[in-house]
């Protein structure tokens, strides 16, 4: 099962690039002691194609930890790619990357959270132990009443936003890529490759059911789209949110309403600098409750663009969805 997954992800993906292989470390006896998967991706930098290499599944045999991981990351960063990315890094991986000249995007390493059913969400966070879970179960009617009241307050998720939504298909995403125009760095999506990727993402049932929708403004124009994993009664994780600058609030409101109407207690996503004002205005909290986002580039103009929000790097474009 796991072998078939690795075969599909690393050898059957739609972005083949012989210059960007995955890496294996062999010890003196020829025994495999470590592995670093590499997923090539295609991006646009100010309209011109560049290569992004996504690092994933860094693993080292326990007795070989230390220099093996460093040698794998060094070999990866020395590749011909214009930009390197890891967005599910732990503290150890972060230390290795930074020791080799890479940086940590602090703002992208933050997460935002929007409680849609605040009573249910808070109770689930406090329900540790059998007795606490029993108390939460008994209090369900009160929690539901409190959440119903909160949802109907001004700005509550129960309020249907203006405009409309429709099911999001790869063809619709490709037809409305102008939503991303204006970003110096953005993904280069293609028919076929996007179909394959969304099929792989939808298989990650451990996160929930993949939901996706295109948002249109009251005039019928495409305002943006969203993709998230629905986890009814729990925290639903946002995979990607794309919106025209003037439509950030509208797309977020549709996302919140969509998830609330399907039973989600809360929504969480990786922070994008350009969305901070709208997320804050809509009652989202921010915190460091997730992995590190690591980035490296030999082109000095790319990293500042990422930090100032002039880049579109969602969970769909990195390592996040590649977990198994």
Q: Which domain holds residue 253?
A: 111-290
8 with 81, same domain: the answer is yes
Q: Distance (Å, rounded) from C-alpha 124 to C-alpha 232? A: 12
Shared domain check, 13 and 93: yes
Residue 4 burial (CB < 10 Å; 0-12/13-18/19+)? Answer: exposed
Same domain, 32 and 127: no
pLDDT digits (tens, 9 = 90+) for 228-248: 999 999 999 999 999 999 999
H and E: helices and strands count for the chain: 11, 14
Q: Report the number of distinct structural domains present in the chain.
A: 2
Angle between helices 118-126 and 130-138 (to 10 degrees): 160
Tokens of 67: 């220099």
Same domain, 75 and 210: no
> Radius of gyration over alpha carbons of the chain, in Å?
21
Q: So what's the pLDDT on residue 137?
A: 43
- Window from 28-37, 105-114, 244-253, 277-286 with minimum mean pLDDT: 28-37
pLDDT band at 131 (very low <50, low <70, confident <90, very high): very low
CB hemisphere CA count around 66 (13 angstroms): 2
The answer as to whether 309 is a domain residue is no
Residue 72 has phi, psi (to 5 degrees) of: -65, -45
Question: Tens digit of pLDDT for each residue in 39-84?
Answer: 999 999 999 999 999 999 999 998 888 789 999 999 999 999 999 9
Per the CB < 8 A criterion, the answer to whether 275 and 110 are in contact is no
pLDDT per residue as tens digits for the range 192-228: 999 999 999 999 999 999 999 999 999 999 999 999 9
CATH number, domain with residue 247: 3.40.630.30
Which SS3 state, helix, strand or coil, does residue 108 take?
coil
Determine contact, residues 227/238, Cβ cutoff 8 Å. Answer: yes
Mean pLDDT of 302-309: 92
150 and 71 in a common domain: no
- The pLDDT of residue 66 is 77
**pLDDT tens, position by position, 146-176:** 455 455 554 578 899 999 999 999 999 999 9
Handedness of CA 58, 61, 66, 72 (dihedral sign): negative
7 in a domain, yes or no? yes
| 117 and 80 assigned to the same domain | no
> What 3-state DSSP class applies to 187?
strand
Judgement on whether residues 160 and 282 belong to the same structural domain of the protein: yes
- What stretch of H or E contains 23? strand 23-26
Structural domain contains residue 251: yes
At residue 91, the pLDDT reads 94
Place of tokens 């470590």: 34
Which of 104, 139, 168 is the C-terminal boundary of a domain? 104
My answer on whether 72 and 99 are in the same domain is yes
What integer pLDDT is reported at residue 148 of this predicted model? 53
């Amino acid at each position: 099962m796991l072998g078939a997954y690795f075969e599909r992800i690393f050898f059957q993906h739609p972005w083949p690039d012989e210059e960007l292989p995955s890496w294996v470390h062999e010890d003196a006896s020829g025994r495999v002691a470590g592995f670093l998967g590499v997923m090539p991706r295609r991006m646009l930098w100010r309209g011109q194609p560049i290569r992004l290499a996504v690092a994933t599944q860094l693993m080292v045999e326990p007795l070989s930890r230390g220099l093996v991981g460093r040698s794998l990351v060094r070999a990866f960063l020395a590749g011909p790619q214009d930009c390197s990315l890891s967005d599910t890094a732990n503290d150890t991986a972060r230390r290795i990357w930074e020791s080799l000249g890479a940086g940590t995007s602090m703002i992208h390493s933050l997460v935002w959270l929007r409680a849609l059913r605040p009573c249910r969400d808070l109770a689930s966070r406090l329900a540790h132990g059998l007795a606490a879970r029993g108390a939460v179960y008994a209090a369900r009617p009160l929690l539901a009443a409190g959440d119903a009241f909160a949802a109907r307050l001004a700005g509550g998720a129960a309020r249907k936003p203006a405009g409309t939504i429709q099911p999001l298909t790869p063809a619709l995403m490709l037809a409305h890529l102008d939503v991303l125009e204006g970003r110096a760095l953005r993904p280069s999506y293609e028919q076929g490759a996007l179909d394959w990727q969304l099929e792989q993402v939808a298989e990650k049932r451990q996160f929930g059911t993949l939901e996706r929708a295109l948002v249109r403004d009251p005039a019928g124009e495409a305002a943006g789209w969203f993709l998230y994993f629905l986890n009814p009664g729990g925290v639903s994780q946002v995979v990607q949110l794309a919106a025209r600058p003037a439509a950030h609030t509208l797309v977020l409101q549709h996302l919140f309403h969509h998830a609330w109407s399907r039973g989600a207690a809360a929504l969480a996503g990786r922070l994008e600098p350009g969305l901070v004002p709208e997320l804050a205005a809509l009652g989202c909290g921010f915190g460091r409750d997730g992995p590190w986002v690591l980035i490296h580039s030999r082109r000095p103009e790319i990293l500042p663009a990422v930090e100032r929000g002039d880049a579109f790097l969602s969970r769909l474009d990195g390592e996040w969805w590649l977990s198994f």
